Chains A and B, each alone.
Chain A
Amino acid sequence: EAQVTQNPRYLITVTGKKLTVTCSQNMNHEYMSWYRQDPGLGLRQIYYSMNVEVTDKGDVPEGYKVSRKEKRNFPLILESPSPNQTSLYFCASSSLFRETQYFGPGTRLLVL
């Protein structure tokens, strides 16, 4: 089954404690992306990657890092989480030149 998986689905942490949210897709997609979703703001792009070792900032990259060492994986790293990073995070992937992005199930993060 074609899918995007994220782990963990729920995470509660404290300010400053480094965390990583994993994302994996099994569709051999070149393009992968991270979004955060906040009430009334829709989905805002954090980082995206157009292929292995190619990453770029989206609209709200501050406080986040990503890496793309393998085509299927695109982890999101919060080196020093802060409460304003409490949000619902989605990973998405697509073929590079197609608009249909497939979204993962989401990771709900609470930073205390």
Chain B
Amino acid sequence: GQQLNQSPQSMFIQEGEDVSMNCTSSSIFNTWLWYKQDPGEGPVLLIALYKAGELTSNGRLTAQFGITRKDSFLNISASIPSDVGIYFCAGLPTNNAGNMLTFGGGTRLMVKP
């Protein structure tokens, strides 16, 4: 199966800075999801997007479903140390069988206090 192209692979930022990351695909997706994985834990869903152009917020996090349905973006405003972790995008392609998610490679975020 295909993988999503997620970038950047890692980021090292100062506390208080804003963060942006994105995922792109060569295929169209029906749903985009963003997960966060804390060290030693499984991924936890942050935001789910269901329509092209949709913009959804969850606290300091904002994600958008790209108009072309081939990309998605996640922004974190005013980062804090607990934002540290790996962020994964995931998508459900249009030819999905059941709930088979395709994951990006992850963005490792490090925040310097």
Contact = CB atoms under 8 A, between A and B. Distances in A.
Interface of A: 4, 31, 33, 35, 40-45, 48, 50, 56, 58-59, 90, 92, 94, 96-101, 103-106
Interface of B: 1, 3-4, 6, 9, 31, 33, 40-45, 48, 88, 90, 92, 97-101, 103-106
Closest 9 CB pairs of A and B: A103-B42, A42-B103, A59-B1, A43-B103, A42-B105, A103-B43, A50-B98, A31-B99, A90-B42
B3 A42 contact: yes
B96 to A, nearest CB: 10
Contacts, number: 68
Nearest to A93: B99
A48 B105 contact: no
A106 B3 contact: no
Contacts of A41: 3, 105
